[in-house]
Amino acid sequence: MSDFWSHFPPMNTRTHEACGAAAPAFAAALAGHLCGANGKTVFWLRESWAGAQLNPVGFAAYLDPKQLLIAKAARQIDALAAAEEALRSGHIALVVIELSARIGLTEGRRLQLAAQEGGAMGLCLIPEAMGSNAAQTRWRCTPVFDPGGAGADSTLQHWEIIKNKSGTLTGWNVGWHAQTRRINVVSKPAQR
């Protein structure tokens, strides 16, 4: 098993993808890891018809909700344009984009270039199997039932790299510790 901290956080100045039921938790943990201490802003783009409401009180375990800016775009093309703008601005540490449809190679590449120019990280939350080839890495995040984890701050999650442009494909079981705002990596042998 390769070391978790050599893969996380994923490479800056690139866009990445996350899918699976725990993808929002992955985004929150990434935001907490990148900006929890330094007070930088996280930009979260959603489509305006998205049903579930982000709950800032729940986010408080990850980062100060002050640092969160939410934008709602009516169409995906607007969301992508706004994401490009935000990535390029250089004042945003992480841009999270919720996507409902597959994006083409052109759009994905444009996001990569914008991230490179602005020195920011992009993260697309995508439905299963709708990834773009331009992404640097793709993470599949699924919650796992932990028989002894009733009091844990988050569910145990299995984060698995299923696409990596420069590295191996591996996976880890992780959890979030709210008080220290840190990711706990659970070693696999302990699970068995």
Partner 1 sequence: MRKRVVSMWFPNLPSDRVARGGAIVADDTRPFVVTHHAQNTDRIYCLNGAAAAQGLHRDMGFSDARAYCPDLQSCPADPVADARFLRMLARWSKRYCPWVGLDGIDGLLLNIAGSAHLFGGEDAMLDDMRARLLRAGLKGRVAVADTRGAAWALTHFGRGSPGEDIARLPVAALRLDAKTDAALQRLGLRKISDLTALPRATIARRFGPDVVLRLDQAMGARDEDISPLKDAPNYGVRMTLPDPIGLSGDVMAGTARLLDRLCAKLKDQDMGARKLQLHLRRVDQGAQVVELRLAAPMRDAGRILPLFERGVGAVDAGYGIDQIRLIAVQVEHLPKAQITYGAATRSDGVDDLITRIGNRIGLDNIHRFLPADSHIPERSFQIAAAAYSRSEGAWVALRPRPLHLFAPEPIAGAGARPPQNFRWRRMALTVGHATGPERIAPEWWLPDENWRSGLRDYWKVDTVQGRRLWLYYTPQNPGWFVQGEFA
15 versus 157: smaller Cβ distance to partner 1: 157
37 versus 69: smaller Cβ distance to partner 1: 69
In the complex, minimum distance from the CB of residue 72 to partner 1, in angstroms, rounded to a whole number: 5
In the complex, minimum distance from the CB of residue 152 to partner 1, in angstroms, rounded to a whole number: 9
Distance in angstroms (rounded) separating the CA atoms of residues 31 and 43: 10
Give the residue among 123, 124, 105 at the shortest CA–CA distance from 10.
123
86 versus 164: smaller Cβ distance to partner 1: 86
Match 């939410």 to its residue by tokens. 70
Largest Cα span, the chain: 47
In the complex, minimum distance from the CB of residue 165 to partner 1, in angstroms, rounded to a whole number: 27
How far from 170 is each of 8, 49, 138, 173, 174, CA to CA, in Å?
12, 35, 11, 11, 13
60 versus 105: smaller Cβ distance to partner 1: 60
Q: Which residues bind partner 1 (CB under 8 A)?
A: 21-22, 24-25, 28-29, 41, 48, 51-62, 64-66, 68-74, 78, 81-82, 85-86, 89-92, 142-147, 149-151, 153-155, 157, 176, 178
* Termini Cα distance of the chain: 15
